[in-house]
Amino acid sequence: MAYEDLAQKTVEKALKAGATAAEAFVSTGQELYVENRDLKVEIMNQATSKGVGLRIVIDGKMSFVCSTDFSAAALDTLVKKGVALAAEATADEFNVFPQPSQMELRDLHIYDPEMFDMSMEERIHLIQEIERVALAKHPLVVKIDNSWITNVVGETTIANSHGLVHSYKDSWCDFGIGVVAEGNNDQRSGWGYSYARSFKDLPGLGELADTAVKRAVAVLGAKPVSTQAAPVVFDSRAGVTFLRGIAGAINGDTVYKKSSFLVDMVDQKIGSDLVTILDDGLLNKGLGSASVDDEGVPSQTKVIVDKGVLKGYLYDTSTAKKAGTVSTGSARRGSYERRPGIGTSNFYLQKGQISPKEIISSVKNGFYVMSTIGQAANVVTGDFSVGATGVWITDGEPAQPVARVTIAANMLDMLKNIDAVGKDLIFDRRTVCPTFRVAEMMVSGT
């Protein structure tokens, strides 16, 4: 089906039915998921999805309706419902859609047409093989939690009554394993997994199995430490929790409502010179990349923090108009069933020049965080508090597994106290960071 034609015709139907503006968002997809446990296939799912989300504006009053039926009769009914709902809504001058852009859009290599070329037998063999490899890695690994492969392809089409129309295909996959290690009268789980736009860009099964095993074994026998202020080193997974807190604080809608601790701080120094944070919707093969955002605005590379200086916030079209600025191409939906909101694309802390080992070896007495649990960030106050598991560092060496502790600080203080950033940045998720160290946080244990 020509989805651009479908989207444009749906918009035309809305205008003929009385809308003063309209936008259609069409999404289709196909997914294949296989999960193994103890060398046996436990789940095998294959699914397709499709839907259209329609926003209708009548004299500033907006409605949103959606449907999975693309037939002409169903779309007529959808439009009729949307028009009726809009007529009952409250007018808002910020209910607007973007104008078409003349910017040339780049191929970001986010679609792999060979995503489903691997046979089911090959998928099953891979997840069984990664289990065998993991079990042979370490004698303390007693069982496999699970292993899995996911393959997804999709197509997105956006059209509005200003003449904007755009369509693109994308794909993603993941491959991973969870193991259980047992020792020191304790049992711990560890995972190794990665995401990519193409299966050939994922790490090998040996590397993923090794990661899972090391993360499980490293924290066997973990106990709380005494409450103290100490340097905290976040590994590249745990640090994402902090980075997501920053992402929430630069949301233009949150800022406009004065509900962010970063309100009115553009061009101010909020972090150390080692802190450069970007949101890059144009990253080649990035998991958050697309030529346009979910309103059809061209994606951008946005420097959020430059050597500690806050440079700006993220906006969609409506919030940008409220703030008297322009969209940063940051509209995100997640599904055709949702209205767009503001979100990140490929959000990351820029890498440094040293290795994680060098960061750890320079710590006299501190905490190396490997995983976090619980709600972490309050974007209104900037307070950051989260449960953590990892390893205590003594004289530059891992010395004692740690669990059941809470780490806490204010995010502004954390930004200013980042005094080491590693070079281990890997774009295997939408939000990523290298290993980094905060000079001091409160570690609350016994």
The CATH number of 3-31+45-88, from 1.20.1070, 2.40.70, 3.40.50, 3.30.720, is 3.30.720
- Ranking 141-150, 268-277, 335-344, 369-378 by mean pLDDT, the lowest is 369-378
Phi, psi of 298 (to 5 degrees): -55, 140
- Model confidence over 3-16: pLDDT tens digits? 999 999 999 999 99
- Cα–Cα distance, 427 to 423 (Å, whole number): 12
pLDDT, tens digit, 9 for 90 and up, residues 278-298: 999 999 999 999 999 999 999
| 20-47 pLDDT per residue, tens | 999 999 999 999 999 998 788 999 999 9
CA dihedral of 107, 109, 111, 112, whole degrees rounded to 10: 140
Residues 6+ away with beta carbon under 8 Å from 311? 266, 267, 303, 304, 305
β-strands 347-349, 431-432 pairing: parallel
What is the overall mean pLDDT for the chain?
A: 96
Residue 200 in this model has a pLDDT that exceeds 90? yes
Using CA atoms, how far apart are residues 36 and 367, in angstroms rounded to an integer?
Answer: 34
Token pair belonging to 24: 């259609």
Structure tokens at 359: 């960061």
Compute the Cα dihedral for 434, 435, 437, 441 and give only its sign: positive
- Report the pLDDT value the prediction gives residue 186, as an integer from 0 to 100: 92
- pLDDT per residue over 380-394, tens digit each? 999 999 999 999 999
Whether this model's pTM surpasses 0.85 = yes
* Angle at alpha carbon of residue 276, lines to 271 and 278, rounded to 5°: 125
Multiple choice CATH, 120-217, 3.30.2290.10, 3.40.50.300, 3.50.30.30, 3.40.50.1970: 3.30.2290.10
- Round to whole Å and give the CA distance between 241 and 236: 10
Convert the pLDDT of each residue in 304-345 to its tens digit: 999 999 999 999 999 999 999 999 999 999 999 999 999 999
**Is residue 375 predicted with pLDDT exceeding 80?**
no
Residues of the chain with CATH 3.30.2290.10: 120-217
pLDDT of 253 strictly over 70: yes
DSSP category for residue 201: G
pLDDT of 126 above 60: yes
Residue 434 burial (10 A CB sphere; 0-12, 13-18, 19+): buried
Cα–Cα distance, 434 to 190 (Å, whole number): 19
What pLDDT is attached to residue 76? 97
**What span, in angstroms and rounded, lies between the C-alpha atoms of 367 and 126?**
36
- In the prediction, which pLDDT does 312 show? 97
Mean pLDDT of 252-277: 98
Per-residue confidence (pLDDT) for residue 1, from 0 to 100? 54
Give start-end residues of each CATH 3.30.720 domain in the chain. 3-31+45-88
pLDDT of residue 158 exceeding 90, the answer is: yes
Q: Structure tokens of 255?
A: 């800022």
Mean pLDDT of 201-228: 96
Answer whether residue 56 shows pLDDT above 90.
yes
> Which two three-digit tokens encode residue 388?
């953590």
Is the confidence at residue 421, as pLDDT, over 70? yes
pLDDT grade for 446, boundaries at 50, 70 and 90 = confident
Does residue 235 have a pLDDT over 70? yes
Closest Cα to residue 413, out of 280, 285, 242, 163? 242
Mean pLDDT of 53-72: 97
**Among residues of the chain, what percentage have pLDDT more than 70?**
100
